[in-house]
Structure 1
Amino acid sequence: MSLTRLIAAACVVGVWLLLCLWAWRRARRHDTQQALALQALNTPAADDTLLVAFATQTGYAESLAAQTADSLRAGGLTVRVAALDQLDLTRLAGYRRMLFIVSTYGEGDPPDAAASFAGQMQGPATGAPALAGAHYAVLALGDSEYAQYCGFGHRLNDWLHTQGAAPLFDLVDVDNGDPAALRHWQHHLGLLAGRSDLPDWQAPVYEPWRLAGRVCLNPDSLGGPCYLLTLTPPASGQSHWQAGDIAEIGPRQTRGGPLLAHREYSIASLPEDGAIQLLVRQMRSADGGLGVGSGWLTHIARLGDEIDLRVRTNRNFHAPDDGRPLILVGNGTGLAGLRALIKARRAQGPSRNWLIFGERNAAHDAFCHDDIAAWQEDGTLERVDAVYSRDQETRRYVQHLLREQADRVRSWVDAGAAIYVCGSLQGMAGGVDAALQDILGDVRLQSLQHSGRYRRDVY
């Protein structure tokens, strides 16, 4: 063998040995990290500690868990991160708030490392729910090319519910790393952290829309002013969306200032209207300062100004393909998403639609009253029930009306109705969910959710 070949062979062996050393050190570092994480898990958590758990096949879910934890810590929250295989029901019961970021492997299977935890989810629930009083959310990673898209994430979500935990917000599906779905997850993280200025992990690619109209819908209201905004599309390109989709807005603190983290708003119109319309309530902080998104849209930007906007598809809130009856429930600016759905139903042709809407006072807060009256007149809306909480001594909300109309709700559901809820996550969404559980039963309501007949756009 020539000297050249000997040197080449020695180099190959050397590289192989270096790779072996690197792999060994990496495995040792991973084992050390796992041991430290397990030791931390065995230490009692403070009451306000938020658990971020992940189940990963390729490392992607673990990376997103780290980003999630960083975002929450930026808001001053105490966070503990753990792999799902390090957890069991006893450990989970030590936390009041939990976020799960989980991949689905193959046809609905858990990642290999989460197989033992998935086995714990198989047995029937016994005794009192172990997670009663806890709150959770699930980010489900998957590939829609597979039949059991995000299957493990959905099963985990159902299991947590059966263990007595309540959702912080609805499950978020991510199809092949969809950046729009991840921005939606970040939106909820910002709400949890109480920070509206958390930077986007990946900024949206906006289009320049134009603010063409801004009308206050509730002068002299006890609540903050609510505006109907009209935004016209850019001259180039075709803009398309469906009822139920979301407008992501890039706000600014001053005209011409830098873009801030995105804000999300339910779209209140259809492409046939020629513009995106939004219902935006002007928010103010405790010190009187304007909210970042609402301040930009309702006060800082002027008519004719460009608004950075991106449409995010929200398949979970699209209108049914058929003419099944529809119960639409919402409060406040949640009427935006319901308004677009009603417009879509009207365009589809005859169908049964029941609108249940709540606000403060009938004299000032009857948003879109002329539209609703016209839809009642032409038969688009078979029934409308408006609930105004401050118009009587005892506060009354949409969930109270649902309970009063329990027999009618059951009759509509028996006839195949789907239920769509849009509006406040705090208060309204939970109250409506509890009312529907009492009216329909938990098993039936969960069945409606699985079949796409119970859908929510809550924030």
Structure 2
Amino acid sequence: MLAPPTYRLLYSCCIILAWLVLCLWSWRQARRRTEQQARAARELHAPATDQTVLVAHASQTGQAEALAHQTAEALRQGGLPARVAALGQLDLPLLRAYPRVLIVASTYGEGDAPDSAAAFADTLMAQNEADAAMLDGLQYAVLALGDSEYHHYCGFGRRLDTWLRDSGASPLFDRVEADKADPAALRHWQHHLGLLTGCSDLPDWEPPNYRPWRLAQRTLLNPGSQGDPCFHLTLTPPDDTDALWQAGDIAEIGPRDARGGALQPHREYSISSIPADGAVHLLVRQMHHGDGRLGVGSGWLTHIAQLGDTIDLRLRTNSNFHPPADDRPLILIGNGTGLAGLRALLKARITAGHHRNWLIFGERSAAHDWYHREEIEDWLADGKIQRVDAVFSRDTADHPYVQHRLLDASNDVRDWIRAGADLYICGSLQGMAQGVDDALVEILGAGGLAALRHSNRYRRDVY
């Protein structure tokens, strides 16, 4: 039965009104997007300060863009001005205009750039040979998103990282790869953001799924040192946990502000032991803020927590720092608490019967800061390590560091590299890691070091 004419007219008017409202809403949304894009473009081209960080994204489905905005917000929370742009918006003058660039890069298909970054890849990155000084002075980092089921896993992010480095840019920290947006990898990226801002209290995007481990032992290793106290910690797993990890892996710790207090943002520590030891060993330096307050992570582990207390801990794989399966030579270079990761590698190598190991370690004073000295010298005496070079900056007037010892041993370094040696670097990013890079360029040439990187024979765990 047909509705009366009045009802039909009212019904038609409602439909027209709804359509007009929808049109108005769509117009306002489009106008808002246009204004936001124009404002972002103006901001992108505005002069940058020496503190400004540009966060660029190469996104196919929107995930990289969302993570770029989260990254920028974390930087702002840490006190750094940050701007966000699509990688496709950038050209060489814009890249040169910023002192630091963080890039969140997805990979499309079998190693290709996402559509939004195709023009960038086809122009700037398509040059047959990158100008080694084209981006000189730029500092960068790459978060590569990918899916390990594809053959060219994180292919575009890896290619982008190589291109930036070959163009003269310097990495703020090593590339982070996230398989299917792995939360542990994203926490590692956020960990680096905290180090970059100097703000260790940035909230976790997704807290780790901790297990309750126990603080079984804590030993001060450097009494009388000119530096901050450094402790060896032993953490034992819960009885119901099958605790497995590999040398090179990371312990994510949930510190607390007091015994029984609230969990704080996670901290990361290189594991200094192997599963055969039956416990996770850590090498932790007690850090202090300028006002004398203890660092959140080191304060919890070295002072607040007491023997027998529960430590919230999650094991995180760090596959790029695992030892090789074969018996190729290894040169292991580190300073300070970086010895932790190198000690685990040496333990794994010795257990596997691979003894072609050369350790180069640096600290302040041999009398106070030669951590695990007896153990390492026993390995050397038993032929389980072929060579140990320990260098202490406060013991001689010339203040030598590990990079100086590398240069002194240039011929031997080249011989080991020719014999197939891999290099593993663990310790401080500022000073040591860059100094080692510079020394290796002098010893091997820029091309020689690049060849080691490209063949995955140069591995770092630096912080």
Which of 93, 100, 103 pairs up with 1:100? 103
Unaligned runs of 5+ in 2: none
Query: Who is 2:91 aligned against?
Result: 88
Please state how far the C-alpha of 1:78 moved relative to its aligned partner: 1.1
CA contact (8 A) 2:215 2:310 kept: yes
Counterpart of 2:56? 53
Instruction: Work out the CA distance in 2 between the residues paired with 1:116 and 1:78.
Output: 27
Hey, what does 1:455 align to over in structure 2?
459
**What residue in structure 2 maps to residue 323 of structure 1?**
327
- Aligned with 1:340 (options 314, 338, 344): 344
Residue 13 of structure 1 deviates from its aligned partner by 11
3-state secondary structure, aligned to 1:159: helix
SS at match of 2:313: strand
Equivalent residue number for residue 220 of structure 2: 216
The Cα shift of 1:20 comes to 8.1
- 3-state DSSP class of the match of 2:261? coil
Question: 1:426: which partner in 2?
Answer: 430
Q: Given the alignment of the two structures, is residue 192 of structure 1 paired with residue 196 of structure 2, yes or no? A: yes
2:173 paired residue among 159, 169, 172: 169
Instruction: Quote the offset at 1:10 in angstroms.
Output: 12
* Deviation (angstroms), 1:32: 3.4
Please report how far the alpha carbon of residue 163 of structure 1 lies from its aligned counterpart in structure 2 after TM superposition: 2.0
How many residues of Structure 1 are paired with residues of Structure 2 in the alignment? 457
Structure 2 match to 1:384: 388
The answer for unaligned runs of 5 or more in structure 1 is none
Correspondence for 1:73: 76
Q: For 1:183-235, what per-residue CA distance to the aligned partner results, in whole angstroms no more than 9, with x for missing partners?
A: 01111111111111110000111000000000011110111111000000011
Which shows bigger deviation, 47-56 or 179-188? 47-56
| Cα distance change, pair 134–2 in 1 and its aligned pair in 2 (3 A) | same
Name 2:207's counterpart in structure 1. 203
Distance verdict in 2 for CA 1:112–1:389, change over 3 Å: same
| TM-score, normalised relative to structure 1 | 0.95
Aligned counterparts, 1:434-445, within 5 A: 434-445=438-449
- Cα distance in 2 between the residues matched to 1:149 and 1:73: 31
What is the rounded CA distance, in whole Å, between the counterparts of 1:17 and 1:366 in structure 2? 77
Aligned match of 1:132: 136
Alignment of 1:216-365 (within 5 A): 216-365=220-369
Residue 109 in 1 paired to residue 112 in 2?
yes
Distance across 1 between alignment mates of 2:436 and 2:240? 42
Q: Which amino acid aligns with 1:100?
A: I
Alpha carbons of structure 1 residues 327 and 9: separation in structure 2 relative to 1, 3 Å: farther
**Residue type matched to 2:295 in 1?**
G
Identity of aligned residues (%): 63
Q: Which moved more, 1:253-262 or 1:121-130?
A: 121-130
Q: Please, what TM-score do these two structures have when normalized by structure 2?
A: 0.94
Contact 1:324 1:351 in 2 (8 A): no
Query: SS state of the match for residue 438, structure 1?
Result: helix
Shift of 1:16: 9.6
The 1:445–1:268 alpha-carbon spacing in structure 2 relative to 1, beyond 3 Å, is: same
Query: Per the alignment, do residues 232 and 329 of structure 1 end up closer, same or farther by CA in structure 2, a change over 3 Å counting?
Result: same
Give the CA RMSD over aligned residues.
2.2
Question: 2: distance between equivalents of 1:419 and 1:250?
Answer: 31
Against the structure 1 CA distance between its residues 356 and 38, is the aligned structure 2 distance closer, same or farther, given a 3 Å change threshold? same
Deviations 1:375-415 (A, max 9, x none): 11221100000000111011100000001111111110111
SS of corresponding position for 1:93: helix
